[in-house]
Amino acid sequence: MDVAKTLAEMAIELEQAGDPDTVLDQVSHYARLVLGADDAGVLRTHSRSSIETPAATSDVVHRAHRLQAELDEGPCLDAIEGRATYVANDVRADPRWPQWGPAAADIGVLSAVGVRLATRDRGYGSLNIYARRVDAFTDRDAEVAEMLAAHATAAFAAAHEAQGLRTALDSRSIIGQAQGILMQKFDIDSGAAFEFLKRVSQHENQKLVNLAEAIVVQRDANARPAKPGEASQTT
């Protein structure tokens, strides 16, 4: 396999993906392909015992990740908090993870590579590649995994930022619509409408955008023509 060509193809696909979860899913499949592995996926942590697996090529990845959270050890967790890259070519006998290794072997994982996904300012988790045979990964494979992780991190960070911007724009649009409804209903200006939304959201302890969305949905519901029989039921 021409690794450089494959990485270039992956970079193009990642740039076009747009959605952060799609980025992670594509990287996982490329990681399995390029390293000749059996499985790959991404681990993200909220704490060492609270994890998520947003991308995985099989259920084995989910199980391997859950074991690391349950046992509080493993190469994928350590790649997030320790060194950037960990390689294990016989997890059954690796002294670094005396509990996880045998448990992972029981589900078919015998070799593993864990690589951190992070920019200089922010960590996103780890990219993890698994094989069902011993001595599956070389030093060169670890270097390739690091290149995959670098591409993945850049693409994920860009997609995550773009998604945040889209969400912010959508929120502004919804809030603007709600302001317009209040301005028309109460004959007030936009500033007064916004202050009204703020007061109600604070009093009701709900996000302003959720309150705005409820106002818009209610307006749309009231604007729909009544179905036959509805008018008689409400009178």
| Tens-place pLDDT, residues 176-211 | 888 888 888 888 888 888 888 888 888 888 888 788
Q: 153 and 168: one domain?
A: no
* CATH number of the domain residue 79 falls in: 3.30.450.40
Q: 186 and 198: one domain?
A: yes
**Band (233; pLDDT cuts 50, 70, 90):** very low
29 within some domain = yes
Q: Count CB neighbours of 79 within 10 A.
A: 26
Say which residues have a Cβ less than 8 Å from residue 136's Cβ, sequence separation at least 6: 36, 37, 89, 110, 111
Q: Count CB neighbours of 213 within 10 A.
A: 17
Edge-to-edge strand ranges of the sheet holding 50-56: 50-56, 39-47, 123-131, 111-118, 85-88
| CB 23, CB 1: distance < 8 Å | no
From first CA to last CA, the distance across the chain in angstroms is 73
Q: Using one digit for the tens of pLDDT, what is the confidence trace for 34-83? A: 999 999 999 998 777 788 999 999 999 999 999 999 999 999 999 998 88
**What 3-state DSSP class applies to 38?**
coil
* CATH number of the domain residue 173 falls in: 1.10.10.10
pTM for the full predicted model: 0.68
231 within some domain = no
232 within some domain = no
Q: 101 and 26: one domain?
A: yes
- More confidently predicted of 92 and 182: 92
Q: 96 and 68: one domain?
A: yes
Q: 150 and 37: one domain?
A: yes
Share of the chain above pLDDT 90, in %: 43
Where in the sequence is the domain holding 103, given as residue range(s)? 3-160
46 within some domain = yes
Q: 15 and 104: one domain?
A: yes
235 within some domain = no
How many independent structural domains does the chain possess?
2
pLDDT of residue 122: 83
Q: 42 and 120: one domain?
A: yes
| Range in 80-84, 91-95, 120-124, 227-231 with the lowest mean pLDDT | 227-231
Q: 189 and 170: one domain?
A: yes
Q: 17 and 99: one domain?
A: yes
Residue at which a domain ends, from 160, 191, 215: 160
109 within some domain = yes
CA angle 107, 44, 117 (to 5 degrees): 105
230 within some domain = no
Share of the chain above pLDDT 70, in %: 86
Q: 118 and 173: one domain?
A: no
217 within some domain = yes
Q: 74 and 41: one domain?
A: yes
